[in-house]
Amino acid sequence: MENNMERVVIPAEDGNGLDARLSEHFGRAPYFILVDLDEDGNILSVQAVRNTGEHFGGVGRPADNILRLKPNAVITYGMGPRALSIFQSAGIAVLKASANTVREGLEAYRKNLLEELTEGCRRARHR
């Protein structure tokens, strides 16, 4: 990944790229939409990645799996305190979603309209 490029990850209910519906909760999202932006905020690529974390019968915590994709920011309605802590420790911005689709969330991000998510969701259930 180029140094002047940004990667944004947005949890989604489906794999429809920019038109995907945002998922209510990070770890339980069936998909993650990865969007690479150039230094001017132009979209370079959009990729849907299945959530292969433990909530979907896979391996590992979703946050750890996403860290391997080297995001600069995550846009979500909410996530558990453990995931939030993982991203904060890695220096990745976690921003509160205020949109219905990935496209809308990305536009708000590009316009610097999103607030930082500072508290994990208390409804998160961990086994």
Tens digits of per-residue pLDDT, 30-60?
A: 999 999 999 999 999 999 999 988 878 888 8
Q: Which residue has the higher pLDDT, 90 or 60?
A: 90
pLDDT digits (tens, 9 = 90+) for 100-120: 999 999 999 999 999 999 887
CA distance 20 to 124: 23
Q: What is the pLDDT of residues 15-35, one digit of tens each?
A: 999 999 999 989 899 999 999
Distance CA 34, CA 9 (A): 5
Type of residue at 59: V
